[in-house]
Amino acid sequence: MTFLSDILSLLSGLSIGFVLSLIGGGGSVLATPLLVYVVGVKSPHVAIGTGAIAVAVNAFANLIGHARAGHVKWNCALIFAASGFIGAGIGSTLGKHFDGQKLLLLFGIVMIVVAAQMFVNRSAEGNANLRLTAETARQLVPPLIGYGFAVGVLSGFFGIGGGFLVVPGLVAATRMSLIMAVGSSLVSVTVFGATTAANYAISGLVDWRLVALFLAGGIVGGLVGGVLATKLSKEHRALSLIFAVVVAVVGLYVVYRGVRNLLGT
């Protein structure tokens, strides 16, 4: 690793922490492309394993801030995460045996689809007073389990924390407000990222030096993103629009690079 690579790793970690805290997702979406195309990690699988553990720790740190601000629906978040934990274990096992370049290409396509959905459904209103109780359990628990498992499988397969999938998944399952979905999603991002990272680490597919650099940068980025997220929560569509733009731009770039790599150009 050169000095320039260290600086790029720190800046990449800062970007990931900022995005994770701001929109509850996108950190892991950015992690793999940054490691491959900016830092210069040769193996997509090492990039996935390294990014997963850095994102999991950053997500946990950012979760603390959102919890203090009252942006976490704990009952919903824990059910979603528990269901997704099983899915992430299955998905990450499959992902390790899938061609790395094709994995990146599919990853980019999924990002674009999710971004398009967010552009169409940009309302951040939702139900800020949502509660999972004995009375609402029959209505809320089945979709939380179903969406959680499906998102967990995809998160594990693509080697990501999956916040860009968890946020719309939580909204679809419960109709909670977007700022609550952002905060609550960090529970799942932590669990999914840690599950995927552990699976990759067992196979020796984690660069621990890069993990440390990413985490150092992520602490600073997370503090800034958390403050901005609280301010933007008062703007009904701003947070959703930023979320969609980030995912769409990175997704398009990942697809572009993935197609070039597969064509050998």
Residues with Cβ within 8 Å of residue 186, at least 6 apart in sequence = 20, 24, 59, 60, 62, 63, 66, 72, 163
Q: What is the mean pLDDT of residues 167-171?
A: 86
| Domain residue ranges of the chain, discontinuous segments joined by + | 3-263
187: pLDDT strictly greater than 90 = yes
Residues forming a β-bridge with 176: 127
What distance in Å separates the CA atoms of residue 143 and residue 169, rounded to the nearest whole number?
Answer: 9
Nearest to 203 by CA among 30, 17, 58, 52: 52
| pTM of model > 0.85 | no
Residues forming a β-bridge with 127: 176
How many angstroms separate the Cα of 114 from the Cα of each of 25, 68, 104? 12, 29, 16
82: pLDDT strictly greater than 90 = yes
Residues with Cβ within 8 Å of residue 27, at least 6 apart in sequence = 16, 17, 19, 20, 55, 58, 59, 161, 163, 189, 218
How many angstroms separate the Cα of 199 from the Cα of each of 55, 93, 186, 224? 15, 7, 20, 31
**What pLDDT does residue 121 have?**
59
pLDDT tens string 221-239: 888 887 777 777 666 467 6
**What pLDDT does residue 24 have?**
58
**What pLDDT does residue 83 have?**
95
30: pLDDT strictly greater than 60 = yes
85: its two tokens: 């934990």
171: pLDDT strictly greater than 90 = no
Do the Cβ atoms of 96 and 200 come closer than 8 Å?
yes
**What pLDDT does residue 26 have?**
58
**What pLDDT does residue 242 have?**
74
**What pLDDT does residue 1 have?**
56
**What pLDDT does residue 165 have?**
81
Higher pLDDT, 244 or 144: 144
**What pLDDT does residue 132 have?**
78
56: pLDDT strictly greater than 80 = yes
130: pLDDT strictly greater than 80 = no
CA 154 to chain centroid, in Å, comes to 11
